[in-house]
Amino acid sequence: MSQRIKNALKNEVAQLKENGKSVGLAVVIVGDDPASRVYVNAKKKACEEIGIYSEEHALPGDTAEETLWDLIARLNGRADLDGILVQLPLPKQISEEAVINAIAPSKDVDAFHPVNVGKIMTGNFDFLPCTPAGVMALIAESGIEVEGKECVVVGRSNIVGKPMSMLLLHRHGTVTICHSRTRNLAEVTRRADILVVAAGRPEMITGDMIKDGAVVIDVGMNRLEDKKLAGDAHFESCARKAAAITPVPGGVGPMTIAMLMKNTVTSATLAYNAARGEV
């Protein structure tokens, strides 16, 4: 699915270039977090595949917050860049909220800026956060109907859990959000027709916590003691009962990157149309 999306985007980028509009993405990474480096490299590779110009700004881990603000201000002002992505997490001396707020909403291809979050709430958005958008694309392309279904989201982060619940709500799902304070979690998850797990706890959802025929979408990415990657759902036990389940790795991850590319192309298209006086 992610490859089909990227192939379509490749054609869109080529068409924009024919019309004289290049597509550019700036990726900022602070420090040397190994997982962040893996993600940044994957994003750069996807840009290359689709024909998006990308540039990386790698800053040392002891970078001052003001230095990062200055960089973002310069990137905001460049017409050749349609998207700005600051890889999270950031070192402790830098406020993630302040950095997100510094990115121009029109170039916020992660859709974390309060302006874009507000638009998601109302359903009148330009960009969607990449992981929830990837989940919704997986659901749609699999022919799974959301309307009227019991949808349970485990996790309430600003990046995944909260926007995920809003997107399911926009598709007329009946949504319950669970978190670390939820009582009788298994009772709630067993009601779910569609279960999205994004809690950051390896294999916390087991087969006895889902109902027969549920759709299980696993956003988690955890490294176990034996160095293997695992999601937030125990794949083998859940797969025996689920109608559909995403693997880890290879499930939601590729879709997240495809959605980042889609947001960047959307931003470029909006900029191109604005330059021509179109809304």
Same domain, 54 and 141: no
- The structural domain count of the chain equals 2
**Any domain includes 276:** no
Catalytic residue (one of 43, 107, 162, 262): 43
Question: Is residue 159 over pLDDT 70?
Answer: yes
Backbone angles phi, psi at 178, to 5 degrees: -110, 160
87 is catalytic: yes
Q: Which of 82, 110, 193, 232 is catalytic?
A: 110
Pair (28, 136) in one structural domain: no
Catalytic one among 87, 149, 162, 218? 87
Residue 156's CB: how many other CB atoms inside 10 A?
Answer: 18
Both 155 and 81 in one domain: the answer is no
Burial, 34: exposed, middle or buried (Cβ in 10 Å; 0-12, 13-18, 19+)?
exposed
**124 phi, psi to nearest 5 deg:** -110, 70
The average confidence (pLDDT) of the chain is: 95
Catalytic residue flag (residue 107): no
Per-residue pLDDT tens over the stretch 233-277: 999 999 999 999 999 999 999 999 999 999 999 999 999 999 888
The per-residue pLDDT for 279 is 59
Q: Residue 160 and residue 199: Cα distance in Å, rounded?
A: 9
Q: How confident is the model at residue 207 (pLDDT cuts 50, 70, 90)?
A: very high
Could you tell me if 101 and 113 are in contact, meaning their C-beta atoms sit under 8 angstroms apart?
yes
Is residue 137 domain-shared with residue 86, that is, in the same domain? no
| pLDDT level of residue 80 (50, 70, 90 thresholds) | very high
Whether 147 is covered by a domain: the verdict is: yes
CA distance 127 to 112: 9
DSSP, collapsed to helix, strand or coil, labels residue 229 as strand
In a domain, 2, yes or no: no
Crossing angle of helices 161-170 and 130-141, in 10° steps, is: 40
Task: Express each pLDDT in 30-40 by its tens digit.
Answer: 998 888 888 89
Annotation marks residue 226 as catalytic: no
128: number of Cβ within 10 Å: 23
Q: What is the mean pLDDT of residues 208-231?
A: 92
Give me the CATH number covering residue 241.
3.40.50.720
Same domain, 177 and 94: no
Q: What range does the domain containing 81 cover?
A: 9-105
